[in-house]
Every structure is written in C-alpha cells, then in structure tokens.
Amino acid sequence: MEHVVPPEAAALLARARRVVVVTGAGISAESGVPTFRDALTGLWQRFDAQALATPQAFEDDPDLVWGWYEWRRSTVRRARPNAGHTAVAAIEARLPGTVLVTQNVDDLHERAGSRDPVHLHGSLLAPRCSGCSRPAPLPDVADEPAEGRRVPPPRCAGCAARVRPGVVWFGEALPQAALDRAVEAAASCDLLVTVGTSGLVYPAAEIPRVAARLGATVIQVNPDETPLDAVAEVNLRGPAARVLPALVAAAWGDTMPA
Ligand code: BJW
Ligand code: ZN
C-alpha cells in the first residue's frame, strides 16, 4: 500500500532549493542489512555492538572483530538497494545541489545511483593497515556469510601490522573532510531530511541540529521515536522504503523510476 505523506511534508520538499539528506542504518534495514543496534543477531547475539566497534576490542581480540566485520561485509555484498535508497537518488537527480550524508558503512547508496555520498563513519569496503594506514586489498568473502566465525585479519604488505576495517570506531575522530562537508551543507541548506538514524551517536547526531538552529526545516523518517523528534518539524513514522518514495511522488509527481 502506498504510504500517505502529509501535504505539508510534500510542500516542504517541493519548495526546497538546497537539500541535505542524512541517513543511518534504518535506510538499509529493508535491504536485509541489520541496523547497528540490531547487528548482533543470531550467533553474534552474545556480544555487544557498542563494545565490538572500538579500537580496544580490536586490540584485545582482532580475530573476533575482523570476523564480525567480514560477516557484515558479506551480508552487504548480497544485499540490494531498496526503494528508500532509490528515492534519495531521485531527490539528487531532481535537485543536483543535494548533499547526501550517511553514517552507513555499506555501499547501497552508491549502488542506487547516488553520486558522491559523504561517508561520516567510513566504509566496510576500504580496509587499511592499523599501523601505517596503507589501504589494503579486500579479501575474497565466501558467498554465504559465515556467522559467528572468528577470522584472523590479513597483514599489511608494507609493515606487517594487522589490517583493520576502514570504519570509524567509538573514540576515533571522524574523517575531517567528510565532517566539514556535512556541517557546511547542513549550515546552508533549507531542508534537511534525516532517515533511519537513532540520533544517538555524535557528532553525526549534531548535523540535523545544526541545520535546525540555522533556520532549516527538518523532516524525519523513522518508524520509532528518536531524540531528533524534537528537532524535526515533521515526523514521518514509517519505514524508509515506503515513506521516501511516497514523499518524492507527493512532492513532484511520478518522477520515481518503477
Ligand atoms: C528504520 C527502519 C526502516 C529501523 N526505515 N528507519 C557527545 C555526547 C556523548 C558522547 C559523545 C559525544 N560526542 C562524542 C561522543 C562519544 C561517541 C558517542 O557518540 N557516543 C554515544 C553512543 C553516546 N562518539 C564517538 O566516539 C565518535 N568520535 C568522536 O567523537 O571522536 C572525538 C575525537 C576527536 C579527535 C580525536 C579523537 C576523537 C565516533 C563515532 C563512531 C561511530 N561508529 C559506528 C560504528 C561504525 C562501524 C560499524 O558499523 O561497525 O557507526 S557506531 C554505529 O552508530 C555506526 C552507525 O553509523 C552509528 C549510528 O547508528 P544509526 O545509523 O543511527 O543506527 P541505529 O542502529 O542506532 O539506529 C537505526 C534506526 O533506524 C533506529 O532509530 C530505527 O528505529 C530506525 N529504523 N528500521 C527507517 N525500515
Ligand atoms: Zn602497514
């Protein structure tokens, strides 16, 4: 069933000139990629995601952490972008100045046609050396995700230190250029659409707040309540793959590819 979007939300998008879209794990949920806070399903359930996504965890048990990331990478590889990703690409096509800022470490936005997403938390697909930061080749992954398996990380071809996932862990700085681009875009947009993020992790959670403080309107798409409810002028409660295409269609008519 088509999701019904309030006319004021459609009008906000139709009137907008400079749009920022901020996405979190929820936009990939309907592609079968578990959200960060749900990422420890099945055999991984005995661990705590917040505790695995730290430099300390990698130091203490590199095989466990690398195995978890390899399992997630194989899940993402098998996933396909959904109608939410496609709707974001449609906004970019309609308004070419749109800036897409994602906290996600998957590549589903790129595969849906988004040209240049700002990746605040890095990528599952860009491992690097934990010693000298040299980019490392992606190991082949099995076709079936090997859930719950410890996997020793490869060694750097330059310095023999362990290769680590190219993501930003708790306590690590975000890539400065990406953060600068995101904050500048938020500070100069007239509409920010935040999609599928719990709004709990900083500094990413600050970005919609920056936009609102400087006069932009914020629309939030999320089936659940989040701390960003208070920042958003419109809260569209529903799954991204239903709500975003409906929002785009309501704003501009049938511009969505089938
Ligand atoms: C749907 C849906 C559907 C479901 N449709 N929606 C200020 C205050 C307090 C603490 C801090 C602070 N500033 C910094 C901190 C510390 C820390 C932090 O924020 N901690 C909080 C937990 C309190 N931040 C950091 O450490 C950051 N670094 C930093 O601040 O560095 C300072 C520094 C400066 C200079 C030198 C050194 C240091 C780094 C944060 C890095 C976050 N990394 C992770 C892991 C990446 C790799 C990986 O994926 O494993 O990024 S954590 C994890 O959370 C991941 C995500 O990108 C991020 C956000 O999660 P997200 O996307 O919101 O997902 P979920 O699962 O939380 O939520 C999903 C949502 O989707 C839910 O709301 C659902 O309802 C919804 N949903 N289905 C739409 N179908
Ligand atoms: Zn190295």
On average, the pLDDT of the chain sits at 93
Atom of ligand 1 minimally distant from the CA of 202? 19
Give per-residue pLDDT as tens, 101-131: 999 999 999 999 999 999 999 999 999 999 9
Over 60: is that where the pLDDT of 168 sits? yes
> Using CA positions, which residue lies closest to atom 33 of ligand 1?
173
Q: Is 222 annotated as a binding residue?
A: yes
Ligand 1 within 6 A of 130 CB? no
CATH 3.40.50.1220 residue ranges for the chain: 1-33+81-122+174-258
Q: What is the pLDDT of residue 136?
A: 98
Across the range 31-59, mean pLDDT stands at: 83
Q: Is 240 annotated as a binding residue?
A: yes
Min mean pLDDT across 33-37, 61-65, 182-186, 197-201 is at 33-37
Over 50: is that where the pLDDT of 95 sits? yes
Residue 93: count other Cβ atoms within 10 Å of its Cβ. Answer: 14
Q: What is the pLDDT of residue 41?
A: 65
CA distance 77 to 241: 19
For residues 24 and 140, the model is more confident at 24
CA distance 114 to 234: 24
Spell out the SS3 assignment of the chain: CCCCCCHHHHHHHHHCCCEEEEECCHHHHCCCCCCHHHCCCHHHHHCCHHHHCCHHHHHHCHHHHHHHHHHHHHHHHHCCCCHHHHHHHHHHHHCCCCEEEECCCCCHHHHCCCCCCEECCEEEEEEEECCCCCECCCCCCCCCCCCCCCCCCCECCCCCCEEEEEECCCCCCCCHHHHHHHHHHHHCCCEEEEECCCCCCCCCCHHHHHHHHCCCEEEEECCCCCHHHHCCCEEECCCHHHHHHHHHHHHHCCCCCC
Give per-residue pLDDT as tens, 227-257: 999 999 999 999 999 999 999 999 998 655 5
> Using CA positions, which residue lies closest to atom 2 of ligand 1?
26
Give all strands of the β-sheet with 118-119 in edge-to-edge order.
118-119, 99-102, 19-23, 191-195, 217-221, 234-236
Ligand 1 within 6 A of 1 CB? no
Across the range 154-182, mean pLDDT stands at: 98
> Using CA positions, which residue lies closest to atom 36 of ligand 1?
173
In terms of average pLDDT, the best of 64-68, 138-142, 191-195 is 191-195
Ligand 1 within 6 A of 197 CB? yes
CATH 3.30.1600.10 residue ranges for the chain: 35-78+128-164
Across the range 45-73, mean pLDDT stands at: 91
Q: What is the pLDDT of residue 257?
A: 52
Over 50: is that where the pLDDT of 258 sits? no
Q: How far is the CA of 107 from the centre of ligand 2 (A)?
A: 25
Output the CATH code of domain 1-33+81-122+174-258: 3.40.50.1220
Over 70: is that where the pLDDT of 42 sits? no
Q: Is 82 annotated as a binding residue?
A: no
Share of the chain above pLDDT 90, in %: 84
pTM metric for this prediction: 0.96
CATH superfamily of 35-78+128-164: SIR2/SIRT2 'Small Domain' (3.30.1600.10)
Which listed ligand is nearest to 158 at the C-alpha?
Answer: 2
Q: What is the pLDDT of residue 188?
A: 98
Q: What is the pLDDT of residue 14?
A: 97
